[in-house]
């Protein structure tokens, strides 16, 4: 195989990879919007204190009130609630 054919095949491969990535990013955007819409409609009647990521891309965990139905963070615990959670009461 000549060098130009190899370059052409690599270019085709990378173009296909880029299209796949773009397709996955678009699917992720659509799913995120659907989750947001469901969370906006939720009444958040039942909530639980949970350890959760501070942000989506974060490795830091925080304690937050999370809706049992939709998984949305719905509040920050006060000091008493936080101490009870941390002490297992």
**11-46 residue pLDDT tens:** 776 777 777 888 888 899 999 999 999 999 999 999
The model's pTM is 0.70
Cα separation, 36 vs 28, whole angstroms:
12
Q: What is the pLDDT of residues 33-88, one digit of tens each?
A: 999 999 999 999 999 999 998 887 878 999 999 999 999 999 999 999 999 999 98
CA distance readout (Å), 76 to 50, 65, 85: 10, 6, 12
Encoding tokens for residue 3?
A: 């060098």
Q: Parallel, antiparallel, or unpaired for β 47-53 and 73-75?
A: unpaired
Q: What is the pLDDT of residue 25?
A: 86
What are the boundaries of each domain within the chain?
1-41, 43-87
């Amino acid at each position: 195989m000549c060098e130009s054919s190899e370059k052409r095949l690599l270019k085709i491969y990378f173009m296909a990879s880029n299209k796949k990535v773009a397709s996955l990013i678009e699917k992720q955007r659509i799913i995120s919007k659907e989750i947001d819409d469901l969370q906006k409609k939720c009444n958040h009647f039942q909530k639980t204190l949970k350890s959760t990521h501070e942000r989506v891309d974060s490795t830091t965990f925080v304690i937050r009130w999370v809706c049992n139905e939709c998984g949305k963070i719905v509040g920050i615990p006060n000091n008493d609630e936080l101490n009870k959670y941390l002490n297992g009461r």
